Amino acid sequence: MTEKEKMLTGQVYSAVDPELLRELNEVKEVIHHYNALLPSATAERLSILKGLLGQVGDDEIMINQPFYCDYGKQISVGRRFFANFNLTVLDEAPVTIGDDCFIGPNVSIYTACHSTDPQERNSRREWAEPVSIGDNVWIGGSVTILPGVHIGNNVTVGAGAVVTKDIPDGCIAAGNPARVIKTIQ
């Protein structure tokens, strides 16, 4: 298997593999161009997002600049997706976001995992775990979503939360670590 194939299947892989580094740098060029566009260049922004992301639900998606991601192709967003300024997605594994999701400013979604053992970590070997976010979800400002997390449908995640574990359907979660504080069924 190539290092990219290992990465995409959740296996330990080399993060300094030349193929992966080349792809990361190519995406950085695209992101740089996207972030430099005038906000009024909506058609060009949408065109770039459609080419960058793995799946786009419709033409009504909007990601305010600046936006950052590692690969782009592992990100899928549903219909009527909106993300505010400074969305950062480390998409070494799939990041799937449903329909009618709103993401506040300064949100980070991580899939990359690193060993807590310094020697292992310094080998630049890592693995990735997917993140999924259901339909009708609002992620408040400055939320961090960690690898392997699933957020259900009809959920609100309060500003500043750190989501370390799955969040079920129909609730409000907040805090560090995030926990369900109210059911809204």
Which one from 32, 33, 114, 150 is the annotated catalytic residue? 114
What is the amino acid identity at position 54?
G
What is the reported pTM?
A: 0.96
What's the confidence (pLDDT) of residue 59?
85
Going from the C-alpha of 175 to that of each of 22, 128, 154, 181, the distances in angstroms are 38, 24, 18, 9
The rounded distance, in Å, linking the Cα atoms of 142 and 172 is 16
The rounded distance, in Å, linking the Cα atoms of 31 and 47 is 12
Candidates 72, 58, 75; CA nearest to 132 is: 75
One pLDDT digit (tens) per residue for the chain, 185 residues: 999 999 999 999 999 999 999 999 999 999 999 999 999 999 999 999 999 999 999 989 999 999 999 999 999 999 999 999 999 999 999 999 999 999 999 999 999 999 999 999 899 999 999 999 999 999 999 999 999 999 999 999 999 999 999 999 999 999 999 999 999 96
Question: Which backbone phi and psi does 81 adopt, to 5 degrees?
Answer: -80, 140
What's the confidence (pLDDT) of residue 179?
98
What's the confidence (pLDDT) of residue 185?
67
Task: Give the number of other CB atoms < 10 A from CB of residue 86.
Answer: 17
- The CATH number assigned to the domain holding 57 equals 2.160.10.10
Q: Which residue range is the domain that position 173 belongs to?
A: 3-183
What's the confidence (pLDDT) of residue 105?
98
Let me know if 114 is a catalytic residue.
yes
User: What's the number of domains the chain is made of?
Assistant: 1
The rounded distance, in Å, linking the Cα atoms of 84 and 152 is 21
